[in-house]
Structure 1
Amino acid sequence: MQFSHEDEHYNLSLNKFESMLKTNNVLFFDSEEFENIIHHYLDLGKISLAKKALKLGLEQHPSSTNLQLFQVEMYVMSDDFDKANKLLDKLYELEPNNEEIYIQKANVLSKQDEHLKAIEALKIALTLNDDPYDSIDIYSLIGMEYLFIDDYNNARKYFTKCVELDPEDYSALYNVIYCYDFADKSDEAILFLNTYLDKNPYSEVAWHQLGKQYFNQKAYKKALAAFDFAIFSDDTFIGAYLEKGKVLEKQHNYKEAIENYKYTLLLDEPSSFALLRIGYCYQKMGNDELALYHFNKTVHEDPLLDKGWIAITKFYIKQNNYQKALYYINKAVNIDSENVLYWKLYAQINHRLKSYEEAEHGYKRTLELGNYEIETWMARADILILLGEYEAAVFNLDQASEFYPENAEIQYRLAGLHFTLGNNTEAEYHMVNGLKFNADYHFIIDELFPKLSSKKILKQLQSKNKKG
């Protein structure tokens, strides 16, 4: 690699500064050298070194506006907005037409959630810039501010300006599509991308994004063509091969889908997503051996990918091999004990194996982690009833009724539980509710509480309901 004179000068400055830090000898640098050194450390995330360079820079060049703007940036990093604003006011008095002052002012306002005021400051900065190409960064900052306030229409307009000025600004291009997606304007996104591609026909990124739009619209032939163009534009574009594989899966062309997924493994390090999809393709083709092989490779490559563990577990459930399924879901739970999907499967498998205490624990953890599906509440309640934990079952169902206040199945269970516990008033209340919400479900009492089926009060309430 050859360095230009600027690169050599930059490296010399950096080496000279780091050498100075080791020897404690104070050396002189011009202000531009300090700016480059500070930029370097900020880009690397070495904030303490950036601060040292800034401190020394201001000591040697106290009137440098650019170095003082770095000081503003440091104040903002420390949430010291008062000092930042005071310094900006001072700089404004000296250089009222310096666009960087307004950009930093916008940065301060944005950090304080004053996004509309930040936009005003950035728009002033735009008026102070004569070169449209140099305005790209400001347009992008304005777009981000609009995103912060969920104004996707205006955000899109400013990101579009970035793309118009620099067609290879793919970050802005992604943001334009993001805005269309969030506003659920897929047709407009497709129109935008096609217009863009008319001028930039070899943009693999735009073809890739167009393919994803067609995929979401289930226009699979058009999606496939778009991904083929992306690959034609760049035959090492992994994302296009992955998306093409997904389309081919939808078209039930599993063999060709596997070829595309496998090609990505040759281009880069093994991808857990590609391995998982290959496994699913083999499973759909009926090749269980290769499916399981790729599911295992998936979790080996990425043990934190829950879809991999779930695929293996469901593979064994499908084969009615619940012991093997339990073995793998236990491994998954040990890796991530906060994953609600793992606990749900753990509960269901133990339920099938009639390991009721373990199943109840699994359902409880599922609920604790935020899965409030009616089936989860019911399954846990029924196991608690089976285990004779009636009061715990009541507490569980009382919580469930807060989410499903007019569910007859909950009411009948509560009626049966309260009758069993001798709380006849509460039992009658829930029985009446159950009959009101759905009279056909009263058989739940007979199934879960067979000893109560002969209770006169139950028959009286059912008879009263029929007459009513």
Structure 2
Amino acid sequence: MEEEFEFGFTEDPKFSVERYEEMIRNHDQYFFDAQAFENIIDYYIEKNDPARALQVAEYAISQHPFAAVFLIKRAQLLVVANKIDEAFAALEKAAMLEASDADIYLIRGNIYEGMERFTEALENYEKALELAEETDEILLHIAYVYQNMGDYETAIKYLKLCLKQNMENQDALYELAFCYDVLDNQEESVQFYQQYIDNEPYSYAAWYNLGNAFTKLSLFEKAIDAYDYAILIKDNFASAYFNKGNALVNLEKYAEAIEVYRHTFEYEQPNADTYCAIGECYEKLEQMDEARVFYKKSVKMDPKLADAWFGIGVTLDFEERYFEALHFYKKALDLDIANADYWFAIADAEYKLGHLAEAESAYEKVVELNPIDVDAWLDYSSILYEQTRLDGAIEVMAEAIKNNPDAAELHYRMVAYMFAKGDYNEALNYLEQALTTDPEKHYILFDYLPQLQQNKVILDIINRYTR
């Protein structure tokens, strides 16, 4: 007959685990009290060994058939194993033994949430809310459900309740920022985080989210101050350094931004995005060799980062190495085919190489993807004009004006084309429209057709608007 040993909760959890493993090795049967079993299950969960934890839960149920806690643990572990029906059954049994245990409804809510059965998820979370002593995590789950339902206003209400229960709940702080972001309500976000910081001045997450909200409002100086506080409180906060770098870039303080980006390397492994951001700063400073070094580091780390391939192209383009630049622009385009900026750069490089047909079709793509890019329309029509395809240039300009009726540059260009065609009445109509839109830009006309500076009719009309 097998000998039974009893192990109680007084001993060290590690001792319970050792005894359990010894029992399994010896094919023996020891008795453990409930607390010892809980310790053993938790040990395996922490070790990320859910299969072993489930095995212990089954064994615990056989020794303590009326302890709901093990049925609840079993249900939790069955969810991990994706055995949903068995998990529901275990929770059903647990509810018969201890209907007032909040975890039963919390786990059931989790399962329904995963199945996108949101009404049932909310019913269970609400029930858990009534029974639990600490409710911040349940409130957070309710907020997640409302987010999944697309009801961000209600999600915000529950996230605020969660933070009222537990000011330290970092997940709730970040989720709140996300909800405000989706609703594009940065002003309220700023207001909330400022109030929060009044009560909790040492919350680095709140300062960080405040910085992000200021960034989205283009208040970059204020954003930098907020990131500085976050860094002061948590000096290894790599994300705060990175976002501070981005804010400095927006203020065109590229040299400072490089220093701040480099700080992130002290606290986390260098990554492709940061290398790319540093490359961009050197590019803006026209230090193209340095820029290229960092762009290359970036693509070496992440060959799918289109912006870094594009950056290499920009540095070569700057050095008038258009043929090489084109190669890298096309690599970027392969990764992001609908990027109008990439098409624009390709169009420009093809033009500089004298490949007019290729440039033309690339410009066509730019204006299709981004019809409000005024420069692209101007360049596109120029190519046609240079090839003495005047009707084509006029057609492109008409389409451009239709998409950008307030862009004076387009109207002035159309005046030049109409004069070139000899259609003086139309030219004067467009000139009136151009001068009405922006009289200061009339010099554009003379840049394109200098001979018009001798035209008395045109000068009289311009003087009427610029006097």
TM-score range, shorter chain: 0.5 to 0.7
Q: How far apart in 2 are the matches of 1:190 and 1:74?
A: 40
The match for 1:311 is 311
Q: How far apart in 1 are the matches of 2:154 and 2:311?
A: 42
Deviation digits for residues 264-319 of structure 1 (CA, Å, limit 9, x no counterpart): 22333223322222211111111111111221222234444333223213332444
Unpaired segments ≥5 residues, structure 1: 1-5, 376-407, 410-439, 441-468
Task: Give, in angstroms, the shift of residue 222 of structure 1.
Answer: 1.5
Alignment of 1:116 with 2:119, yes or no, is yes
Alignment of 1:201 with 2:217, yes or no, is no
The match for 1:41 is 44
Q: How far apart in 1 are the matches of 2:245 and 2:10?
A: 43
Q: How far apart in 2 are the matches of 1:111 and 1:266?
A: 38
Q: How far apart in 2 are the matches of 1:266 and 1:316?
A: 31
Report if aligned partners of 2:329, 2:346 keep a CA contact under 8 Å in 1: no
Report if aligned partners of 1:241, 1:261 keep a CA contact under 8 Å in 2: yes
Deviation digits for residues 216-258 of structure 1 (CA, Å, limit 9, x no counterpart): 1111222122122222323332222222211111111112111
From 2, 8, 12, the counterpart of 2:15:
12
Alignment of 1:128 with 2:128, yes or no, is no
What TM-score, normalized to structure 1? Answer: 0.66
What TM-score, normalized to structure 2? Answer: 0.66
Report if aligned partners of 1:156, 1:176 keep a CA contact under 8 Å in 2: yes
The match for 1:412 is none
Deviation digits for residues 200-222 of structure 1 (CA, Å, limit 9, x no counterpart): 11222111111111111111222
Pairs within 5 Å for 1:181-220: 181-220=181-220
From 65, 78, 87, the counterpart of 2:68:
65
Alignment of 1:258 with 2:258, yes or no, is yes
Residues 374 and 140 of structure 1: CA distance in aligned 2, closer, same or farther (over 3 Å): closer
Q: How far apart in 2 are the matches of 1:269 and 1:158?
A: 36
Residues 341 and 289 of structure 1: CA distance in aligned 2, closer, same or farther (over 3 Å): farther
Q: How far apart in 2 are the matches of 1:235 and 1:83?
A: 47
Pairs within 5 Å for 1:77-116: 77=80, 79-116=82-119
Unpaired segments ≥5 residues, structure 2: 1-8, 372-394, 397-413, 415-467
The match for 1:321 is 321
State the superposition RMSD in angstroms: 3.8
Report if aligned partners of 1:329, 1:342 keep a CA contact under 8 Å in 2: no
Residues 322 and 75 of structure 1: CA distance in aligned 2, closer, same or farther (over 3 Å): same
Pairs within 5 Å for 1:214-293: 214-293=214-293
Residues 107 and 248 of structure 1: CA distance in aligned 2, closer, same or farther (over 3 Å): closer
Give the count of matched residue pairs. 360
The match for 1:166 is 166
Report if aligned partners of 2:306, 2:331 keep a CA contact under 8 Å in 1: no
Q: How far apart in 2 are the matches of 1:88 and 1:163?
A: 29
The SS at the match of 1:67 is helix
Report if aligned partners of 2:208, 2:230 keep a CA contact under 8 Å in 1: yes
Residues 268 and 118 of structure 1: CA distance in aligned 2, closer, same or farther (over 3 Å): closer
The match for 2:31 is 28
The match for 1:389 is none
Pairs within 5 Å for 1:312-351: 312-325=312-325, 328=328, 340=337, 348=346
Report if aligned partners of 2:326, 2:346 keep a CA contact under 8 Å in 1: no
Task: Give, in angstroms, the shift of residue 320 of structure 1.
Answer: 4.1
Residues 324 and 146 of structure 1: CA distance in aligned 2, closer, same or farther (over 3 Å): same
